[in-house]
């Protein structure tokens, strides 16, 4: 909440691609929308850019929403192992849920625009976190010349080591930039892949998001969350 006054956020979620050589089996499903072979990695960071959850097994053509629908973190929220009023923040490639808040695609002036601004600033943590992970372990920046199954293990090992470095306060490599260069840039609900409602991940969180926005972001400066009504 200290980042931008957005209450109740326990993590920020996104997908990132790790480039691989063309596999000998099921080659086509590993080609992502940018036309290179990859593993699509779902990752959740906390405010300190420590990894809370990672799934590194899906071929590059898999949509972020599909990865989420099959993930354990979805089960944790929907089965209420995570307390109420705790949220993840994700971009508009994800469905809006009561536990996964996404930006407004066409925000109106006032609370919706305030919400989007705070959402964007807070969600930038995931871009910084992915950038830090890939700078620390350059194998994730280039083309990994292993079978997909082994690439998945390499990614998980790097994630574990990243968290160890965070706990032990080991400085990351000094390089320019702080964001994941593989990710799409968005501007208040901009140009990332837009989620099309379907199946078990329909956008059931839209009424919740509307109420949440009006409660916490009604002030002109977007600081409504700091009025004592936040979590």
Task: For residue 69, give the CATH number of its domain.
Answer: 3.30.420
Q: Higher model confidence: residue 191 or residue 133?
A: 133
Report the pLDDT value the prediction gives residue 173, as an integer from 0 to 100.
79
Give CA–CA dist 115/96, Å, rounded: 14
Give residue 181's pLDDT band: very low, low, confident or very high (50, 70, 90): low
Q: How many separate domains does the chain show?
A: 1
Partners of 18 in beta bridges: 39
Asked if pLDDT for residue 196 goes beyond 60, the answer is no
Q: Containing domain of residue 21, as a range? A: 9-175
Q: State the pLDDT at residue 69.
A: 94
Instruction: List, in sequence order, the alpha helices (H) in the chain.
Output: 64-69, 72-78, 111-136, 148-167, 206-216
Alpha helices (H) along 168-222: 206-216
Residue 196 within any structural domain of the chain: no
Region 53-62: what's the mean pLDDT? Answer: 97
Helix, strand, coil percentages for the chain (3-state, nearest 5): 35, 15, 45
| DSSP state letter for 24 | S
**Is 19 inside a domain boundary?**
yes
User: Contact, 51 vs 73, CB < 8 A?
Assistant: no
Write b or e for each residue in 129-167: b if 16 or more Cβ atoms lie within 10 A of its Cβ, otherwise e: bbbbbbbbbebbeeebeeebeebbebbbebbeebbebbe
Q: How many residues in total does the chain contain?
A: 231
- What are the b/e assignments for 207-219, b being 16+ CB within 10 Å? eebeebbeebbbe
Q: Looking at the domain assignment, is residue 201 inside a domain?
A: no
**Average pLDDT, integer, range 184-198:** 46
Q: Is 147 a domain residue?
A: yes
Residue 211 lies in a domain: no
Within a domain: 205: no
Enter the pTM of the model: 0.86
């Amino acid at each position: 909440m200290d980042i931008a006054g957005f209450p109740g956020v326990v993590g920020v979620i996104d997908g990132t691609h790790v480039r691989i050589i063309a596999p000998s089996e099921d080659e086509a499903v590993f080609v992502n929308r940018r036309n290179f072979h990859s593993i699509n990695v779902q990752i959740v960071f906390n405010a300190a850019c420590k990894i809370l959850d990672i799934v590194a097994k899906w071929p590059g053509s898999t949509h972020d929403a599909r990865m989420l629908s099959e993930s354990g973190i979805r089960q944790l929220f929907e089965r209420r192992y995570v307390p109420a009023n705790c949220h993840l923040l994700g971009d508009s490639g994800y469905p809006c849920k009561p536990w996964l808040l996404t930006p407004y695609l066409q925000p109106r002036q006032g609370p919706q625009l305030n919400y989007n601004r705070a959402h964007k600033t807070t969600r930038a943590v995931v871009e910084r976190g992915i950038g830090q992970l890939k700078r620390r372990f350059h194998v994730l920046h280039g083309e990994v010349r292993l079978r997909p199954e082994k690439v998945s293990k390499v990614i998980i090992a790097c994630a574990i080591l990243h968290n160890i470095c965070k706990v032990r306060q080991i400085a990351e490599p000094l390089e320019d930039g702080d964001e994941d260069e593989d990710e799409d840039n968005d501007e208040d609900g901009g140009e990332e892949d837009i989620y099309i409602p379907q199946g078990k991940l329909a956008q059931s969180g839209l009424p919740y998001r509307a109420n949440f926005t009006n409660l916490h972001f009604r002030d002109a400066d977007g600081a409504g969350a700091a009025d004592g009504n936040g979590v």
